[in-house]
Amino acid sequence: MPWFAKGGKISKKILMRSFLFIFLLLQICLSNHSTGEDWSEFKDKHFVVYYTMSEDESWARVLLQKAEEYYDRIALEIGYSRYSNFWTWEDRVKIIIFADQKTYLQKTGQPKWSTGYSNRDSQLFKSRVIVTYHQENDFIDGLLPHEISHLILRDFIGFDRQIPLWFDEGVAQLNEANKKILADTLMKKLVKQNQFIPFEVLTTRDIRQETDSKKAIRFYLESVSVVDFLIKEYGHSAFGDLCRGLKDGKDIEDAIRGAYSGSIDSIVSLQEQWVKYMQKQ
Ligand SMILES: [Zn+2]
């Protein structure tokens, strides 16, 4: 007698429960995430892109290709490609594309102004993720490389390490379209007028509390300008050493001293070198 039969007749209650159980199991198996969407996917070496709408397919393909390009470029730029090859096979980063902003906000609980975010250990998606929705703005040239850079830097240095915000945001902006050119133009002007943020202030400030948008913009542009200067003037390999110093638990000043010994030995001397560099450009 089958286990679900009672006295030769199938118990309706047990049958219903069995169907419900199988239905829930199928839901879990078919869906990669706990959001209830019906996901399709494309995979490459380091990323998997998930999308729900068939009309998003070509956008998803472009996104995947760009993500792989950014990965290679950023890893090379910050000297990481020498040390490790991570994010492969099952360790790929998931890029989640919701159909529209409304669904994206509903499912992720992000603030209304949010257009996307990254998370190294997402509870919702059980993985490293970049989450967004299909949009026409500059996501692919802006937020995508920004979030990939944050993830790579954090994998390099360690998620629990304390690093100055300017360093984190400076690296994150390296591959945003036109950001370095914009920073270069503004910072040259501010250096000339002696109006830049002194590096001792830059290193201790948490700009996330800043309400004056002009000050926030200045902070971000100065951050990318300093990181760009270090890479252009002293190379990817020395920058990789700086990151490794931070990974080993050094504070930013010690890590700089270790990576640029003989050239830069403090935050103050970093500022002096950067100012000289900006003046001769
Ligand atoms: Zn950022």
Ligand 1 midpoint to CA 97 (Å): 19
Ligand 1 midpoint to CA 139 (Å): 13
Ligand 1 midpoint to CA 147 (Å): 7
Reported as a single tens digit per residue, the pLDDT across 37-61 is: 889 999 998 999 999 988 889 999 9
Ligand 1 midpoint to CA 200 (Å): 20
Q: Which fold has domain 40-157?
A: Glutaredoxin (3.40.30)
Q: Are 41 and 48 in contact (CB under 8 A)?
A: yes
Ligand 1 midpoint to CA 239 (Å): 19
Ligand 1 midpoint to CA 25 (Å): 38
Ligand 1 midpoint to CA 266 (Å): 25
Nearest to 173 by CA among 114, 226, 120: 226
> Which H helix or E strand runs over 273?
helix 267-280
Domain boundaries, the chain: 40-157, 165-280
Our CA angle for 61, 175, 161, nearest 5°, is 105
The predicted structure's pLDDT at residue 208: 75
Regions of the chain where pLDDT drops below 50: 1-10, 15, 18-32
d(CA 33, CA 187): 44
The predicted structure's pLDDT at residue 202: 94
Ligand 1 midpoint to CA 172 (Å): 6
Ligand 1 midpoint to CA 65 (Å): 22
Alpha-carbon Rg for the chain in angstroms:
24
Reported as a single tens digit per residue, the pLDDT across 155-164 is: 889 888 889 9
Ligand 1 midpoint to CA 146 (Å): 6
- Residue holding tokens 């902006």? 173
Ligand 1 midpoint to CA 150 (Å): 7
Ligand 1 midpoint to CA 62 (Å): 22
The predicted structure's pLDDT at residue 21: 44
The DSSP annotation for 181-241 comes to HHHHHHHHHHHHTT-SPPHHHHHH--GGG---HHHHHHHHHHHHHHHHHHHHHHHHHHHHH
Ligand 1 midpoint to CA 207 (Å): 11
The predicted structure's pLDDT at residue 23: 40
Ligand 1 midpoint to CA 169 (Å): 5
Ligand 1 midpoint to CA 175 (Å): 12
Cβ neighbour number for residue 120 with a 10 Å cutoff: 13
- Residue holding tokens 């990576």? 259
Beta bridge partners of 117: 131
Ligand 1 midpoint to CA 40 (Å): 28
The predicted structure's pLDDT at residue 41: 94
